[in-house]
Amino acid sequence: DTEVTQTPKHLVMGMTNKKSLKCEQHMGHRAMYWYKQKAKKPPELMFVYSYEKLSINESVPSRFSPECPNSSLLNLHLHALQPEDSALYLCASSQAQGGNEQFFGPGTRLTVL
Amino acid sequence: KNEVEQSPQNLTAQEGEFITINCSYSVGISALHWLQQHPGGGIVSLFMLSSGKKKHGRLIATINIQEKHSSLHITASHPRDSAVYICAVGGAGNQFYFGTGTSLTVIP
């Protein structure tokens, strides 16, 4: 299994809602990443988990809360988002943190109303 | 200044043409990656390079470590190659830097 899966594919939420994005991989990778991508822009790194511990937080607002329950799962909890948070949220994994090849999921298209 | 620069930003080609996309970087790297993203879609890794040249089907990627430069070539381009191609580098400090992408359109 060389796949990173993400659910849901699409999500529409209001500014007062609480929702979660999920990411899963079964490649035995020990680093997992959340990226945010706006239209026609490259992905921007949000968080990195290495061996289930938060390794990098790129000054992301607290309305985004990551969680890594185990080595295969990565969640992104969303609360009180703003319309400008609408974007494609990509999850990726790699064998270890750093320059290793990253495998990307298909992304979750988030729209905040 | 971005750590990773790509050129051109946009590229339109006729089907069958040979295509080159360039990437220059300014940081020390452990590896360079070429990624492909179709409109509205996820990202697929095409190549990971730390030296020399790699070939996969009609795609060829080269890297010159001394010049901090890489190229992605597509031979006999096809409309299904239309996508955004992103150069990314894995830095020594556990960072992953993305270029701004090259949007390729191949016209039948």
| CB within 8 Å of chain B, chain A residues 42-61 | 42-43, 45, 48, 55-56
Query: What is the rounded distance in angstroms from the CA atom of residue A38 to the CA atom of residue A48?
Result: 19
Helices (H) and strands (E) in chain B, counts: 0, 11
| Chain B closest-CA separation from residue A91 CA (Å) | 9
Tell me what pLDDT residue B102 has. Answer: 96
Q: Is B31 on the interface with A (CB under 8 A)?
A: yes
B41 chain-A contacts, CB cut-off 8 A? 106-107
Rounded to the nearest integer, the mean pLDDT of chain B is 92
With beta carbons less than 8 A apart as the criterion, state whether A72 and A25 touch.
yes
With beta carbons less than 8 A apart as the criterion, state whether B85 and B92 touch.
no
Query: What is the rounded distance in angstroms from the CA atom of residue B19 to the CA atom of residue A89?
Result: 30
With beta carbons less than 8 A apart as the criterion, state whether A63 and A83 touch.
no
Tell me what pLDDT residue B77 has. Answer: 97
3-state secondary structure of A84: helix
Cβ <8 Å between A104 and B44: yes
**B11 strand-pairing partners:** B104
Q: A91: closest CA among A26, A18, A35?
A: A35
Helix (H) or strand (E) holding B72: strand B69-74
DSSP state of A85: G
With beta carbons less than 8 A apart as the criterion, state whether B3 and B92 touch.
no
Per-residue pLDDT reduced to its tens digit, B13-65: 999 999 999 999 998 888 899 999 998 778 898 999 989 999 999 999 999 99
User: How many Cβ atoms are within 10 Å of A13's Cβ, its own excluded?
Assistant: 17
**CA closest to A44 among chain B residues:** B98
Tell me what pLDDT residue A100 has. Answer: 75
**Predicted confidence (pLDDT) at residue B93 exceeds the cutoff of 60:** no
pLDDT tier at A108, thresholds 50, 70, 90: very high
Which residues touch B25 (CB under 8 Å, ≥6 apart)?
B3, B4, B5, B32, B68, B69, B70, B87, B89, B97
Q: A73: closest CA among A6, A12, A1, A2?
A: A6
Is residue B108 reached through a cis peptide bond, with omega within 30 degrees of 0 on the bond before it?
no
User: Looking at chain A, how many residues does it have?
Assistant: 113
- Of A40, A90, A99, nearest to B42 by CB-CB distance is A90
Locate tokens 């990971």: which residue? B48
| Chain B closest-CA separation from residue A85 CA (Å) | 17
Tokens of A9: 């594919």
Q: Is A102 on the interface with B (CB under 8 A)?
A: yes
Tell me what pLDDT residue A91 has. Answer: 96
Q: Which of B43, B51, B104 to mutate to test the interface with A (most CBs of A within 10 A)?
A: B43
| CB within 8 Å of chain A, chain B residues 38-97 | 40-45, 48, 86, 89-92, 94-96
| Chain B closest-CA separation from residue A101 CA (Å) | 6
